[in-house]
Amino acid sequence: MATNKLDELSINTIRFLAVDGVEKAKSGHPGMPMGDAAMAYALWSKHLRHNPKNPKWPGRDRFVLSAGHGSMLLYSLLHLTGYDLTLDDLKNFRQWGARTPGHPEYDLDCGIEMTTGPLGQGFATGVGMAMAERYLGERYNRDGYSIFDYNIYAIAGDGDIMEGVTNEAASMAGHLGLGQLIYLYSDNKITIEGSTDIAFTEDVKGRFDAMGWHVQKIDGMDIEAVSSAIDAAKAETGRPSLIIARTNIGFGSPAKQDDCGAHGSPLGPDEVMAAKNNLGWPTEPTFHIPDEALANFRGAVDRGAELEKDWKDKFEAYSKAHPEQAAELKDFEAQGFVGAIGAIPAFTPEDGKVATRVASGKVLNAIAANTPFLIGGSADLGPSNNTAIKAEGSFTRDEAGRNIHFGVREHAMGSVLNGMALSGLLVPYGGTFLVFSDYMKPAVRLAALMGLQVVYVFTHDSIGLGEDGPTHQPIEHLAALRSIPNLTVIRPADANETANAWRLALTRTDGPVALALTRQGLPILESKEETVDRGAYILADSEGQTPEIIIIATGSEVHVALEAYKVLTDDGVKARVVSMPSSEIFEEQDEEYRNEVLPPDVRRRISVEAASTLGWGRYVGLDGISIGLDRFGESAPAGTIFKELGFTKENIVGKARTLLGDKINK
Amino acid sequence: MATNKLDELSINTIRFLAVDGVEKAKSGHPGMPMGDAAMAYALWSKHLRHNPKNPKWPGRDRFVLSAGHGSMLLYSLLHLTGYDLTLDDLKNFRQWGARTPGHPEYDLDCGIEMTTGPLGQGFATGVGMAMAERYLGERYNRDGYSIFDYNIYAIAGDGDIMEGVTNEAASMAGHLGLGQLIYLYSDNKITIEGSTDIAFTEDVKGRFDAMGWHVQKIDGMDIEAVSSAIDAAKAETGRPSLIIARTNIGFGSPAKQDDCGAHGSPLGPDEVMAAKNNLGWPTEPTFHIPDEALANFRGAVDRGAELEKDWKDKFEAYSKAHPEQAAELKDFEAQGFVGAIGAIPAFTPEDGKVATRVASGKVLNAIAANTPFLIGGSADLGPSNNTAIKAEGSFTRDEAGRNIHFGVREHAMGSVLNGMALSGLLVPYGGTFLVFSDYMKPAVRLAALMGLQVVYVFTHDSIGLGEDGPTHQPIEHLAALRSIPNLTVIRPADANETANAWRLALTRTDGPVALALTRQGLPILESKEETVDRGAYILADSEGQTPEIIIIATGSEVHVALEAYKVLTDDGVKARVVSMPSSEIFEEQDEEYRNEVLPPDVRRRISVEAASTLGWGRYVGLDGISIGLDRFGESAPAGTIFKELGFTKENIVGKARTLLGDKINK
């Protein structure tokens, strides 16, 4: 190992901060930081362009710890290089309220670029980060002014490399030639159940070669080798780079090095002692940071300040040379989509029946014509999802157009959207059928957990898709999505609710929005202002009187609810129809509004939604009825399925009569 | 093309049955059957060992149409070769109640081996079918008696090859050297959005080579080439085979061949005419089947009868030579797990605190010792999931042990479990953390849709996992799983409920069961007989009087509910605690029982579950309170998190007092 004394001291500082942190928390993953410290040190000390005193500097390189369980490696590096993460934070590892949770959580204030832990997500999200860099660079960079010009580094483990989402994202990255990606794969041959040989014997280099990556195999414990490999990766700008670095999990631990016992539990006091002795480290005090090592790491502060200053000077000059471009960027940071929102069209009943997916396509195009910061595509269902921005080109290897072809890779799409959103300058959207939201769920969850502004265009939102049948008909998906904290699900009932849903998606900056849109045409409802803003609203009512019965519906079922309402009203029943495009938003309203829409005393309630009834008990209570689908769908024309499965005015009226029976009996 | 006249006639028969079927249904996918008919014909006429008159013959080869949208290809083959699928069924394609839905649905009566459509699932499920064959063969075959000795064939498309689950499964199959797999990849260069070049330019051969597959590239329109490649694949028994077959989507259609327009819509009457003219096919009548072609296909009936007879004779002789083995197989078919269930242990309070994951491991081992038909493993979390059968070996390339190391491949695990269950002779189980059920959701859905007996061992089922934090703490997952039709979710409250949950999982033959198990230890409840069988039961009560308040809880929260119950009871409140391990099972009970457990008049109800409250409204109604988590978790010791987030007796008692307030006020 060509490691000088200071390097070694610095690397061991990382190792034992991690070891001591895990030991103090009595839980965590010491093996990875011990094994990957050298490699991480090589990257952070010799290559990573960052400014610890301004983690939000837009020109910085990104570092993603895809193997998130090695969080103490990242926390140690952040503290040592001078980020706003104290030694006390490190000592507080995995404790209530700490900034150092078990797995890294997105927190730019202290330099954590994204939440990781669920394997494969860091790897795949980085691909989105690179696509954002490519898009922004191509749009805004000018000769002599490389404003957006950074690399995305990551450390990934065996688990990342095995996950399917990684392969999807890697295939995309190779296809697009994303040279900004420089990934270190810590090939330590150990997984939780033992040697990787028990499950994973493929030729990783061969697989990534085949997907168009630039692949190197090196000794990951040799910082010169790591540094040279990173140099070669930086020089290769036309292909993403994977550096397969042989590492030793639990390096330094006499009993646990290269053993799965080092992975997910503290070493234990005796083994900590043995490891410290083995690597010539003082056993006391814990959390020891030698002054020379600290000074060495903290060099990052001055280097970072200089890097950012150079960038700022360049941006200043750029602003003068290209004021229009600079203004576009500054305006977006200041105002978001205010201008583009004004371009959202309105629809009238004269438009005839419009599928909400078609309305969505029109709205999207109107918005996109007025802002460059909305970018997206579909997982090979563009023509069905209506996700194309018609005036714009495709995102290809040669040109970063605004229409992304994700291929049949829903999961990678979800992660890539997250990566693009993390740029802070783009709001990305992605389309697929609602039923296939399943394939990307782990990425949707991470968007919600990180609070990222991402828009999902989930079309073909019910049995209304018809003939494709049960495999393609979502049943449980609305409930599943609604149960995710901080995800707003909107199922609009017509083109105008769709327009409002998009408006809301553009203004909701602290979490993702999922649109559930019909395949089939729907009439335009009598226009209501801002229908979606309050989550639910009274669409038809019993003219000023307290209703005897309330029908609550969403999406396409609002129309059949209206038909039932007419029958009931004609029969003298005081009925109300509530359109509830978003229960999450409705729940955020004040009690007064909620009680106005759903008066607590009105207990005869029927929900109508062509989906799992799970969740509707909250609104219909113990005395109401949910018309829904607690079964899988059928393959047939949509009209037939709706009729056969009870989404008819007759069925709703019948259920209403059942509820109203007690009125008669009383 | 070395195709003789009869072959050509036969292939065109498939093509135009598909074309006419789609045309009549006015929806569907004609391009794939037109392009893949030749390849499928080569496989079905020259290689596939099957008996159309007994689709359940255990010795048959399996054929999986992974590209399920090409369903008319499969339906045509099934009808033509003599399965119980009529020409009227074909004419009824995609209509209500038809046996020919838009995508194939598992229906062995007419030869449909599995439900496909969601891409990648067929590919990955086939891997499980091969593992079942390997396991059963190794256990039961004897010299001269190859009882289990069949191949798994599949046709996959570009979408399948792009999906992450495919890569996970392919990596596993290569690792295990599953030579029984012979997959045809229809490389037609076309996806829905256009040429595959827009998203998918990797070297597929290189990728599969790297994963240990035997890969051939051929002209998929040349039946001799296809047949030779299948011969070579059969000869290669140590590696799975991928035959990359260049095909032409929409072959024969003058305007739409090799165009994405052929993929997902009817050709249209004019183009149907043009295609028929182009391939020398009579334009009238539709659904035309030339007699020679039919006779040619129907040869499969006699061949099949003979194949099965040979196998039966062999099995007969085997039964005499190896009566013990034969009896084991016959007993399982007749009685299932009756014997093994008797071995399930009981736990007593003296056992102290037992995590339900630990109880599950003990129960699993007790069962496994008494039956060879339970097989499974974990996605690299075996030591945490307690999924290992301790007395048994691992499933490796060399030996089909009962402990499967899925690697960090949750999604492939889900699909592989389905494939093993489809053997009809194995009940497979798979473990991961509950939060990572997200990664395998599409496979779980398919298990439910197919009604397969699969057991999911989802451990670390709440914030109770503690320090790993929000990325690893399930919140929405119980609701998400409960919303899937035909999946039974059980969250046991102690070791005995866990034992009963396993018993139920072994007896529920028509759908999957998901167990949600704690990381943390739980006391053993006072024993109740068959606690899980009715889904919910009264655990503690107000001694014969109608309760004033009901606390409903699941899993670990049952214990804190009991603590609250004691406080309330001491204060003179008539309280009841209901343990509800499975709301799905509870919903299946008769009204009398449900009303006994939850009397409709008792409206003061509190649900307590450390998960999303979505779904609890059904039980607490408009007047109750749900204590749950409509937010993400935290990284800290479990006890701290439970306390901080309100899972304390104090909080429950406080909420109870709020509800009881109206009693006082009245």
Q: Read off the pLDDT of residues B309-364 as tens digits, 9 standing for 90 and up.
A: 999 999 999 999 999 999 999 999 888 898 899 999 999 999 999 999 999 999 99
Are A417 and A424 within 8 A, CB to CB?
Answer: no
User: Which of A103, A486, A615 lies nearest to residue B468, judging by beta carbons?
Assistant: A103
Compute the C-alpha angle B519/B522/B528, nearest 5°. Answer: 125
Q: Which residue has the tokens 């008792």?
A: B602
| CA–CA separation, B73 and B635 (whole Å) | 52
| CA–CA separation, A18 and A504 (whole Å) | 43
Q: Read off the pLDDT of residues B217-264 as tens digits, 9 standing for 90 and up.
A: 999 999 999 999 999 999 999 999 999 999 999 999 999 999 999 999
User: At residue B165, does pLDDT exceed 90?
Assistant: yes
Name the average pLDDT for chain A: 96
What structural domains does chain A harbor? Answer: 5-303 (3.40.50.970), 349-522 (3.40.50.970), 537-663 (3.40.50.920)
User: At residue A664, does pLDDT exceed 70?
Assistant: no
Q: How confident is the model at residue B387 (pLDDT cuts 50, 70, 90)?
A: very high
Query: Are residues B102 and A603, on separate chains, in Cβ contact within 8 Å?
Result: no
Chain B residues close to A117, C-beta within 8 Å:
468-469, 471-472
Q: Read off the pLDDT of residues A272-281 as tens digits, 9 standing for 90 and up.
A: 999 999 999 9
| CA–CA separation, A363 and A496 (whole Å) | 10
Asked if B209 is an interface residue toward chain A (Cβ–Cβ < 8 A), one would say yes
Are B226 and B252 within 8 A, CB to CB?
Answer: no
| CA–CA separation, A231 and A47 (whole Å) | 8
Backbone angles phi, psi at A354, to 5 degrees: -130, 125
| CA–CA separation, B492 and B503 (whole Å) | 12
Are A515 and A456 within 8 A, CB to CB?
Answer: yes
Strand, coil or helix: B579: strand
pLDDT of residue B664: 45
User: At residue B427, does pLDDT exceed 90?
Assistant: yes
Length of chain A, please?
A: 666
Q: Calculate the alpha carbon distances from A644 to A655, B93, B98, B127, B131 in Å.
A: 16, 18, 14, 37, 40
pLDDT of residue B662: 56
Name the average pLDDT for chain B: 96
At position A665, the amino acid (one-letter code) is N
Q: In B102-140, which positions are buried (b, 16+ CB within 10 angstroms) versus exposed (e)? A: bbbbbbeebbbbbbbbbbbbbbbbbbbbbbbbbbbbebb
Please state whether beta strands A403-405 and A374-378 pair in parallel, antiparallel, or not at all (unpaired): parallel
The alpha carbon of residue B7 is apart from the nearest alpha carbon of chain A, in Å, by 31
> What is the DSSP-derived secondary structure letter of residue B542?
S
Helices (H), A245-290: 269-278
Are A500 and A531 within 8 A, CB to CB?
Answer: yes
Mean pLDDT over A438-466 rounds to 98
> What is the DSSP-derived secondary structure letter of residue A112?
B
| CA–CA separation, A49 and A146 (whole Å) | 14
| CA–CA separation, B51 and B147 (whole Å) | 16
pLDDT of residue A236: 98
| CA–CA separation, A103 and A117 (whole Å) | 6
Helix (H) or strand (E) holding A243: strand A241-246
| CA–CA separation, A625 and A620 (whole Å) | 6
Asked if A633 is an interface residue toward chain B (Cβ–Cβ < 8 A), one would say no
| CA–CA separation, B515 and B498 (whole Å) | 8
pLDDT of residue A526: 82
Bin B347: left if φ > 0, else alpha if -120 < ψ < 50, else beta.
Answer: beta
pLDDT of residue B529: 66
| CA–CA separation, A75 and A308 (whole Å) | 22
Bridge partners (DSSP) of residue B355 are: B521
Strand, coil or helix: A411: helix
The alpha carbon of residue A595 is apart from the nearest alpha carbon of chain B, in Å, by 12
Bridge partners (DSSP) of residue A145 are: A142
Query: Are residues B193 and A612, on separate chains, in Cβ contact within 8 Å?
Result: no
Q: Which of residues 64-93 of A touch B (CB under 8 A)?
A: 68
> What is the DSSP-derived secondary structure letter of residue B322?
S
Are B648 and B641 within 8 A, CB to CB?
Answer: no
User: At residue A530, does pLDDT exceed 80?
Assistant: no
Are A513 and A455 within 8 A, CB to CB?
Answer: yes
pLDDT of residue A1: 44
Query: Are residues B485 and A632, on separate chains, in Cβ contact within 8 Å?
Result: yes
User: Which of B193, B205, B615 lies nearest to residue A614, judging by beta carbons?
Assistant: B615
Q: Calculate the alpha carbon distances from B495 to B359, B454, B517, B527 in Å.
A: 5, 21, 10, 10
| CA–CA separation, B573 and B575 (whole Å) | 6
In B, minimum Cα distance to A451 occurs at: B632
Q: Which of residues 378-417 of B touch A (CB under 8 A)?
A: 378, 380-384, 394, 396, 405-409, 411-412
Q: Which of B68, B73, B81 lies closest to B125 in space, CA to CA?
A: B68
pLDDT of residue B1: 44
Worst-scoring range by mean pLDDT, A533-547, B389-403, B477-491? A533-547
Q: Read off the pLDDT of residues A191-238 as tens digits, 9 standing for 90 and up.
A: 999 999 999 999 999 999 999 999 999 999 999 999 999 999 999 999
Mean pLDDT over A46-63 rounds to 98
In A, minimum Cα distance to B446 occurs at: A471
User: At residue B590, does pLDDT exceed 60?
Assistant: yes
User: At residue A4, does pLDDT exceed 80?
Assistant: yes
pLDDT of residue A665: 38
Q: Which of B464, B508, B484 lies closest to B635 in space, CA to CA?
A: B464
Those residues whose C-beta lies under 8 Å from the C-beta of residue B401, and which sit 6 or more positions away, are: B392, B393, B394, B395
| CA–CA separation, A643 and A531 (whole Å) | 28
Q: Which of residues 88-147 of A touch B (CB under 8 A)?
A: 94-98, 101-103, 105, 115-119
3-class DSSP string for B325-380: HHHHHHHHHHHCCHHHHCCCCCCCHHHCCEEHHHHHHHHHHHHHCCCCCEEEEECC
Q: Read off the pLDDT of residues B367-378 as tens digits, 9 standing for 90 and up.
A: 999 999 999 999
Please state whether beta strands A194-195 and A190-191 pair in parallel, antiparallel, or not at all (unpaired): antiparallel
Between chain A and chain B, how many beta carbons pairs sit less than 8 Å apart? 365
In B, minimum Cα distance to A71 occurs at: B468
The answer, yes or no, to whether the previous bond of A285 is cis (omega within 30 of 0) is yes
Length of chain B, please?
A: 666
Query: Are residues B483 and A479, on separate chains, in Cβ contact within 8 Å?
Result: yes
Are B216 and B243 within 8 A, CB to CB?
Answer: yes
pLDDT of residue B543: 82
Query: Are residues A471 and B622, on separate chains, in Cβ contact within 8 Å?
Result: no
pLDDT of residue A404: 98
Residue-wise DSSP of A42-70: HHHHHT----TT-TT-TTSPEEEESSGGG
Strand, coil or helix: A514: strand
Are B193 and B199 within 8 A, CB to CB?
Answer: yes
Helix (H) or strand (E) holding A490: strand A488-490
The answer, yes or no, to whether the previous bond of B285 is cis (omega within 30 of 0) is yes
The tokens for A198 are 């028990």
Q: Is the dihedral of CA B654, B656, B661, B664 positive or negative?
A: negative
User: Which of A171, A405, A483 lies nearest to residue B479, judging by beta carbons?
Assistant: A483
The tokens for B630 are 């409509």
Q: Calculate the alpha carbon distances from B332 to A544, B59, B136, B329, B370 in Å.
A: 67, 17, 13, 5, 12
Chain A residues close to B580, C-beta within 8 Å:
none
pLDDT of residue B666: 36
Q: Calculate the alpha carbon distances from A32 to A65, A107, A118, B478, B650 in Å.
A: 11, 22, 16, 31, 41
Strand, coil or helix: B571: coil
User: At residue A315, does pLDDT exceed 50?
Assistant: yes
Verdict on whether the full-model pTM lies above 0.95: yes
In B, minimum Cα distance to A191 occurs at: B380
| CA–CA separation, B242 and B204 (whole Å) | 10
